[in-house]
Amino acid sequence: MQRGDKPVLGKRPSTDKTLSQRLTTGVFHGIPAYLCAVVLLLVVLVGSVLFAVTVGSADLTVRQVYEVILFEWFHIGDPATLAQGAAHDIVWYIRLPRIVLGVAVGMGLATVGVVMQAVVQNPLADPYILGISSGASLGATAAILLGIGAFGSNSVGVCAFLGALGVSFAVIGLSHLGGRATPVKLVLAGVALSSVCSAISNFIVYVADDPGRFMTVTFWLMGSLAGAEWESNGVIFLVVLLAIAFFLTQSRTLNLMLLGDDTAITLGTNLRRYRQVYLVMASLVVGFVVYASGVIGFVGLMIPHVIRVLFGVDHRKLLPLSALAGGIFLVWADVVARTILPNAELPIGILISIVGAPAFVLLLVKKTYQFGGRPS
């Protein structure tokens, strides 16, 4: 081998060292800080759930709430008084399911936000950047205003799920036109399809003369956890946990995406196929989330930024911490949405946008951090 042939082999240690240096960012470093953060967030999450279940418009005491929970979980108490009645139905069929759904939705959106920011190499990406939100909105709008009832009582959620998934596959197809897919082409295809879906949704709303159904569409698009049920919660939670576990196994590849395709190829990894797989997986998670809760934005954009500032860009830490923080954030957002207005519920999407936008702007003004080795 001639001396001129050595750079490819000689660059790998240097590149690996550069990757390691770029991942070592954030305020807190080291395994102990990471483990302490995981334990702390787990404790806060459990505490948030235990507190949130006691809060609501119904006048229930803390004792009544936990008597119902202890009876359902451990069969402690008198079945004659705890297995039925208003307190039982409010706690077990209304409050607790929506809190559990809030944890799953928050974890799912935050996780997908982390992945999407790596896939498109853009710190301003979120789970809906590729038109998934507009596809879901189109599906829900069509189901409600056009009376699509092929899926029974779940028609709105199923159509929203199919719309989100369909747009995701369309984005993948469009991004391959004229050559291989790139992060820029993925974003451009998503923006184009988002505009088309929004235009079709607006046209359906314009031609449909039904004020009642129009209000239903509007409320659903604002996001809500009110439709939570134990049966669907189990499926959604399972999907979210499996997705988190899958992406954790892909942490090294996600870290390589921050360095760009050329550097990854130098290290022997072709990111194109990984990017397609991650996009499909992320779309599945968002589809299930949209099916259960409607369109809730900003969680997947803001939470990863906060965690990245504190603990850096290494996805081995970023993914689990973002998931836990997302679950905590949405639980508290739902508590405020349920209680801020007397005898009414504020759509959670409105609340998150009101609170999230100024907080995100403040984060950008006050703090800079590294995204893939570049100040952002």
| Dist. CA 67–CA 82, nearest whole Å | 7
Q: Among 120, 141, 138, which Cα is nearest to 129's? A: 120
Q: Among 301, 286, 289, 275, which Cα is nearest to 165's? A: 286
Domains recognised in the chain with CATH numbers: 21-375 (1.10.3470.10)
- What is each CA distance from 205 to 143, 198, 208, 235, in whole angstroms? 12, 11, 5, 31
| Dist. CA 346–CA 331, nearest whole Å | 14
Q: Identify the pLDDT of residue 112.
A: 92
Q: Identify the pLDDT of residue 1.
A: 44
Beta bridge partners, 370, equal 375
pLDDT digits (tens, 9 = 90+) for 145-195: 877 766 666 677 778 778 878 888 888 888 878 777 777 888 888 888 888
Residue 333 pLDDT greater than 90, yes or no: yes
pLDDT digits (tens, 9 = 90+) for 188-240: 888 888 889 889 988 888 887 777 777 777 777 788 898 888 988 998 999 99
Q: Identify the pLDDT of residue 12.
A: 47
Q: Identify the pLDDT of residue 9.
A: 39
Q: Among 79, 193, 86, 216, which Cα is nearest to 142's? A: 216
| Dist. CA 285–CA 168, nearest whole Å | 12
- Mean pLDDT for the stretch of residues 32-41: 92
| Dist. CA 125–CA 190, nearest whole Å | 11
User: 140 near 160, Cβ under 8 Å?
Assistant: yes
Hey, which of 63-67, 216-220, 241-245 has the most confident mean pLDDT?
241-245
pLDDT digits (tens, 9 = 90+) for 309-326: 888 888 999 999 999 999
Q: Identify the pLDDT of residue 170.
A: 87
Report phi then psi at 375, rounded to 5: -60, 135
Amino acid sitting at position 108: G
Mean pLDDT computed over every residue of the chain: 82
